[in-house]
Structure 1
Amino acid sequence: MSPEPDRRAIDAIVAQIDAALRDIARRPIVLGLCGAQGSGKSTIAATLERRLRESGTNVATLSLDDLYLTHTQRRQRARNVHPLFATRGVPGTHDIALGEAIFAALDAGAPTRLPRFDKSSDDRARADERPILELPLDVLIFEGWCVGAQPQPAEALASPINMLEADEDPDGIWRRYANDALARPYQRLFARIDRLVLLAAPSFAVVRRWRLEQEEALRRDRPHGRALMDRSAIDRFIAHYERLTRHILIEMPDRADLVLRLDEQRRVRAIN
């Protein structure tokens, strides 16, 4: 489980939001919250929501995960582009047009229903499980493992980064398609972010342990979900994320508005 967020970290994020609210008028502020799997994004987002509501700010949270293509759509992409797209996560497995429509509705002050994704069933939640935003909205927290990420240079894609890529994407079709998606439609979506916060893991190696803890919590909450994974399945699953996670940890700290550097227990050890 994620530890209770450091008050200094929450204060630093709120300061970024307050500055954006002062600088930008007539539309909601979008706070981008990026962090590797299991880094505590959801816990921080929930704490921020409580803190902002206490000050009279109308706030909502949208996860990048909630924009996943449906199970059927990802199966179609797996058939038409590359089999690895059957697994959710990397750029190319999200409905970017849906995200753009949500942001456009928010900017227009129009009522909109936020999507929700049920990871235990590996598909979108039913319509009656999707909240309708209370308007007018002041702040939208947009969180996700690659929110705000930039594409890699083409030469970085030449060699596989792990056994999954070496065995199942030897020609680089999957990773190039994902990188091209990140370079174009995802950048349009991320351009709407007003402030970008990075939860920086100490290394990719710790992400596996964090992801195991996430799955254990999901198993407790939804013990009969058909998409729950064992340890070997999780190892394969996080291999899909390794390339871009490592890239984010290298390139994003220099351009994020705020970087919270975490230790292996997800405690904040530095705020930059």
Structure 2
Amino acid sequence: MRSSPAAKCPIVSSEAILADAIERALARPRKRPLVIGLCGAQGSGKSTVAAALAGRFADTVVLSLDDLYKTHDARAALARDVHPLFATRGVPGTHDVDLGLATFAGLDGGHATPLPRFDKARDDRVDPAAWPVAPARPALVIFEGWCVGAAPQDAAALVAPVNALERERDPDGVWRRHANAALAGAYQWLFARIDWLAMLRAPSWDRVLGWRLEQEQALRASGARGAGVMSDAEVTTFVSHYERLTRHILDDMPGYADLVLQLDDMRGCVAVRGTDPTTDGGMR
């Protein structure tokens, strides 16, 4: 395996670095689509980068983990039967992993495949009749999401709460243990389809929270109204659902991701470390 130490990249964009790696990987013959996993915390720009890459490469499909959320009714049942915090989408356990596996099976099988869509404004899945259909035999699939490729935590790490949400609403750890068990189980089957995992690594958890606050402040400044528009306090509570696993990913994923792009406070790439995707060591 050829790997490179962290190198400064203050000018080249994350998109350009990923595009170069993808181009080289696509040059190798394949019997099924190349699946790039793109992991990045909230606000890191992963959806923007994924869309830009899709514009660069023909026959590309973008699949977001956010589009695999369980229906509102299914999450309501999970909240009733397991823990009330599962009413809020986001953590492992709130996604329909079987739907994701079926989607990849269709893409791998060379079929025209419906791509799931989730409407965050309604907090529910879009009617399948309205899903876009991916053409048969795409060359590239970009699978993006905030915890795509994440590994579970050790049991000992789950004991102490990481924030007020966990202290006050999950004092016995039922919610976080169930989410971690889900991540250790079926999610790993889904992530096993990733050929090459790239990480957009935020500088810190505090910066992730700051990015999310900036997004909501911009939304309020635009004049947007409605139940989906949150105050700063509401944003902090909402993002607290993601804090535990986000902190873990920031610490853990650089040790096994194929490519790590270190971001600064403005989302610029300031260092890169990873393996060459044209070698067997750089592919899963």
Q: What's the TM-score once normalised by structure 2's chain length? A: 0.87
Residue in structure 2 matched with residue 49 of structure 1 by the alignment: 54
Q: Contact 2:213–2:235 (CA<8 Å) still a contact in 1?
A: yes
**Distance (Å, rounded) in 2 between the aligned partners of 1:164 and 1:157:** 14
Q: Contact 1:120–1:228 (CA<8 Å) still a contact in 2?
A: no
**Distance (Å, rounded) in 1 between the aligned partners of 2:33 and 2:119:** 26
Q: Which amino acid aligns with 2:232?
A: R
Residue in structure 1 matched with residue 142 of structure 2 by the alignment: 141
Describe the SS at the equivalent of 2:204. coil
Residue deviations 1:137-185 (CA, integer Å, cap 9, x gap): 0111000000000000000001111110010001100000000000010
* Residue 156, structure 1, aligned to residue 157, structure 2: yes
**Distance (Å, rounded) in 2 between the aligned partners of 1:262 and 1:152:** 24
- Figure out how many residues of one structure are paired with residues of the other and give that number: 264
**Distance (Å, rounded) in 1 between the aligned partners of 2:222 and 2:96:** 26
Q: Contact 1:111–1:133 (CA<8 Å) still a contact in 2?
A: yes
Would the alpha carbon gap of residues 210 and 129 (structure 1) be closer, same or farther in structure 2, given more than 3 Å must change?
farther
C-alpha displacement at 1:24, in angstroms? Answer: 5.4
C-alpha displacement at 1:22, in angstroms? Answer: 4.0
Q: Contact 1:202–1:263 (CA<8 Å) still a contact in 2?
A: yes
> Which structure has more strand as a fraction of its residues?
2
Q: Which amino acid aligns with 2:82?
A: V
Residue in structure 2 matched with residue 32 of structure 1 by the alignment: 37
Structure 1's unaligned 5+ residue stretches are none
Q: Which amino acid aligns with 2:142?
A: I
Residue deviations 1:224-258 (CA, integer Å, cap 9, x gap): 55433222211111101000000000010121111
**Distance (Å, rounded) in 2 between the aligned partners of 1:219 and 1:226:** 12
C-alpha displacement at 1:213, in angstroms? Answer: 3.1
**Distance (Å, rounded) in 2 between the aligned partners of 1:96 and 1:187:** 10
Q: Contact 1:77–1:85 (CA<8 Å) still a contact in 2?
A: yes
Residue in structure 2 matched with residue 264 of structure 1 by the alignment: 265
**Distance (Å, rounded) in 1 between the aligned partners of 2:85 and 2:29:** 41
Q: Which amino acid aligns with 1:41?
A: K
Q: Which amino acid aligns with 1:142?
A: F
**Distance (Å, rounded) in 2 between the aligned partners of 1:250 and 1:183:** 17
C-alpha displacement at 1:270, in angstroms? Answer: 1.1
Would the alpha carbon gap of residues 225 and 28 (structure 1) be closer, same or farther in structure 2, given more than 3 Å must change?
farther
* Residue 192, structure 1, aligned to residue 197, structure 2: no
Residue in structure 1 matched with residue 237 of structure 2 by the alignment: 236
Q: Contact 2:39–2:198 (CA<8 Å) still a contact in 1?
A: yes
Q: Which amino acid aligns with 1:182?
A: L
Residue in structure 2 matched with residue 16 of structure 1 by the alignment: 21
Q: Which amino acid aligns with 2:197?
A: L
Residue in structure 2 matched with residue 63 of structure 1 by the alignment: 64
**Distance (Å, rounded) in 2 between the aligned partners of 1:222 and 1:62:** 30
Would the alpha carbon gap of residues 96 and 219 (structure 1) be closer, same or farther in structure 2, given more than 3 Å must change?
farther
Alignment of 1:112-127 (within 5 A): 112-127=113-128
Residue deviations 1:102-152 (CA, integer Å, cap 9, x gap): 001111111211011111221112335421102220111000000000000
Would the alpha carbon gap of residues 73 and 17 (structure 1) be closer, same or farther in structure 2, given more than 3 Å must change?
same
- Of 145-154 and 118-127, deviating more is 118-127
C-alpha displacement at 1:217, in angstroms? Answer: 5.7
Residue in structure 1 matched with residue 252 of structure 2 by the alignment: 251
Describe the SS at the equivalent of 1:253. helix
Residue in structure 1 matched with residue 79 of structure 2 by the alignment: 78
C-alpha displacement at 1:66, in angstroms? Answer: 0.3
Q: Contact 1:66–1:117 (CA<8 Å) still a contact in 2?
A: yes
Q: What's the TM-score once normalised by structure 1's chain length? A: 0.91
Q: Contact 1:121–1:227 (CA<8 Å) still a contact in 2?
A: no
Q: Contact 1:120–1:225 (CA<8 Å) still a contact in 2?
A: no
Structure 2's unaligned 5+ residue stretches are 1-9, 274-284
Would the alpha carbon gap of residues 226 and 128 (structure 1) be closer, same or farther in structure 2, given more than 3 Å must change?
farther
Q: Which amino acid aligns with 2:180?
A: N
Q: Contact 1:92–1:178 (CA<8 Å) still a contact in 2?
A: yes
**Distance (Å, rounded) in 1 between the aligned partners of 2:219 and 2:123:** 12
C-alpha displacement at 1:43, in angstroms? Answer: 0.9
C-alpha displacement at 1:78, in angstroms? Answer: 0.2
